Amino acid sequence: MFSYLIAEKYGLTAEVIKGTKPRKNEHHFWVRCDGLLYDLTAHQFSGRRPILGVEQHSFFETFPEQVVLENPRFIDQRRVLELYRSGAIVF
């Protein structure tokens, strides 16, 4: 949702990055936009807080395999933007 809203509101390209710890088969996702990194869900990990607009962070290095997802479709982009435009999603 965050990547869709950034693109809609500010006209910026936001990339969803999937990080993987291969030995643990553990995955995590964050967003890169205009050279800055955002992880709104980093708090799911013990001792972490959300990461907002940083150029780099040691947390992301704990996921050594990283790929940009070309067409992430976790949720319906059309519906997210419809809700945002109607005022149901405040951003």
pTM of the model: 0.89
Q: Tell whether 34 is covered by a domain.
A: yes
Which structural domain, as residue segments, surrounds residue 34? 2-86
Residue 72 has pLDDT above 90, yes or no: no
What does the pLDDT look like over 15-70, one tens digit per residue? 999 999 999 989 999 999 999 999 999 999 999 999 999 999 999 999 999 999 98
Q: What pLDDT does residue 11 have? A: 95
Q: Tell whether 91 is covered by a domain.
A: no
Residue 89 has pLDDT above 90, yes or no: yes
Q: What pLDDT does residue 27 have? A: 95
Q: Return the structure tokens found at 91.
A: 């951003």
SS3 labels along 51-90? EEEECCCHHHHCCCEEEEECCCCCCCHHHHHHHHHHCCCC
Neighbours of 38 (CB within 10 A): 19
Residue 84 has pLDDT above 90, yes or no: yes
Q: Report the greatest alpha carbon distance in the chain.
A: 44
Give how far Cα 38 sits from Cα of 15, 24, 30, 48, Å: 10, 23, 6, 13
What is the number of domains present in the chain? Answer: 1
